[in-house]
Structure 1
Amino acid sequence: MESVPVRCPACRREHAYITPVYPCPCGSPTAPPLMRGAPAVPITHRTWNDDWVSVRCHSCGRRDQWPHPELCCPCGTVLRIPVRPVATRGITQAAAGPAAPSPVPPSRTAARPRPSFRPLVIRTARDAVSTAALYLRWLGYRDVVQPEVRPSSRIDLRAAGLVAQVDATTRPTPLRDVECLWLNALNASVAAVLFSLAGYTDEARSRADGLAIPLFVLDLTGTPQPANGPADELISVGP
């Protein structure tokens, strides 16, 4: 684990900060690369872009969003630790903007041929979950499990390497649902997929694109339709 000296600009106290390590879905430990010598910055207000940082796994090359390293000084000041930007094709993240993590292994280029999907007419919220389960199996996910009672995490379906949520309400799925699903997937080191009957807010769609979460819209005939680029990629490439 990497350790860097950090001075609090408020009280001038010195700290030795140890980089947090997170598990990449490939199993390798991954840590944000800290910028030695760069001053820590006090946090006065929070935004999503500042609270998360793009990190590349040195083993598999996967690029994901991880919590930005922070340190809480005993004086009460919360400090953000500077992180080296991730370079992509000769352009740094700071210049090119944050990139979405890839939802599929880079070595995969095409899915195996599938038979036509047989939809299930949706009359109830339970039907919506059952349709999503059928669709995930059709995409190629194994061991799709539908719990009898929806857990507090709001995860409706689990499969090998996947968690999925099904929003059967009549309102567009909000940003919070996308972020909560992503955090659940992050904690379990698996991928995530979201289904919705009423579509998505613009903020939810934009965030899902940034996190590479496939979004599908369910119609009452039971045929899921891709609602963003990651969903199109999942259909063409497979899990």
Structure 2
Amino acid sequence: MTDSVPVRCPACRREQSFTPPTFPCSCGAPLTVPVLRDGAPEEIEHRTWQDIWVVVDCPSCGRQGHWPQPEFGCGCGVLVRVPVTPPLPAAAPPPAPAVARPAFRPVTIRTARDAVTAAAQYLKWLGFRDPRRPEDREAGVDLYGTGLVARVDPSTRPAGLRDIECLWLHGLQRSALSVFFSLAGYAREARARGDALHIPLFIMDLTGTPQPVNDPADVLIRTGPPDG
């Protein structure tokens, strides 16, 4: 059971008990957001994307992830942000050995359905066991599988910031890796958000051959799925 911590409202100065939230890590272990006991809570006047997520290391597997920022509503009417213990700087791990694979055989893209098929074939080639279309298509998800959610954008416009964030939230909900494929590339903000959230981003041409556009995609190609 998670221990409660005393937190003082910055507006009315009333001290109250706060129980840090617990979430399931993708490794299966419960992860309790580590509240900074001696930190200074802040009144929330407005939110930004950076304000609503915190970076926390899982104590079981060591994986670093983004989790909802702890907050609570005080009886005085103020919404309070609770500070979190920052993660320790991690030593750079040794590079994982590259996965040996046969040459990828692409699927020519003529339709939007072909693009999804090509992405599914590529994900299988990377090592994901069962990428498939959801029976009831969710907004923002075209393929899913064990430890995986993927979006395939066959449109002629670059993928936007909202597309990346929506996919990442689906991955967070499923404790799965999010992977994005786009035929038209990525807007600058979308590319930056993908990098910040460690989402592998790929661009596809009409031959059906995905190409990595960021470091997480390069790592995925080199080492395969996280649980692989």
**TM-score range for the pair, normalised by the shorter chain length:** over 0.9
How far residue 107 of structure 1 moved from its aligned partner, in angstroms, is 8.6
Answer yes or no: is the 8 Å Cα contact 2:31–2:58 preserved in 1: yes
- Matched with 1:130 is 117
Q: Which runs of 4+ in 1 moved over 3 A?
A: none
Long gaps (5+) in structure 1: 91-101
Matched, 1:212 2:198: yes
- Matched with 2:17 is 16
Q: Give the stretch that moved more between structures: 134-143 or 36-45.
A: 36-45
Matched, 1:196 2:151: no
- Matched with 2:147 is 161
Describe the superposition over 1:149-173 as per-residue Cα deviations: whole angstroms up to 9, x where unpaired. 6x23321111221111111111110
Answer yes or no: is the 8 Å Cα contact 1:6–1:40 preserved in 2: yes
CA 160–111 in structure 1, closer or farther in 2 if over 3 Å, else same: farther
Work out the CA distance in 1 between the residues paired with 2:48 and 2:64.
21
Identity %, equivalent residues:
56
How far residue 37 of structure 1 moved from its aligned partner, in angstroms, is 3.0
Count of aligned positions: 224
- Matched with 2:6 is 5
- Matched with 1:143 is 130
How far residue 14 of structure 1 moved from its aligned partner, in angstroms, is 2.7
Work out the CA distance in 1 between the residues paired with 2:134 and 2:27.
27
TM-score under structure 2 length normalisation: 0.92
Answer yes or no: is the 8 Å Cα contact 2:152–2:182 preserved in 1: yes
Q: What pairs up with 1:70-149 in 2 under 5 angstroms?
A: 70-89=71-90, 109-147=96-134
Work out the CA distance in 2 between the residues paired with 1:156 and 1:147.
7
- Matched with 2:222 is 236
Work out the CA distance in 2 between the residues paired with 1:224 and 1:139.
11
SS in 2 for 1:132: helix
Work out the CA distance in 1 between the residues paired with 2:131 and 2:88.
37
2:65 partner amino acid:
D
How far residue 123 of structure 1 moved from its aligned partner, in angstroms, is 1.1
SS in 2 for 1:55: strand
CA 58–141 in structure 1, closer or farther in 2 if over 3 Å, else same: same
Long gaps (5+) in structure 2: none
- Matched with 1:175 is 161
Q: Give the stretch that moved more between structures: 187-196 or 81-90.
A: 81-90
SS in 2 for 1:88: coil
- Matched with 1:97 is none
Answer yes or no: is the 8 Å Cα contact 2:55–2:67 preserved in 1: yes
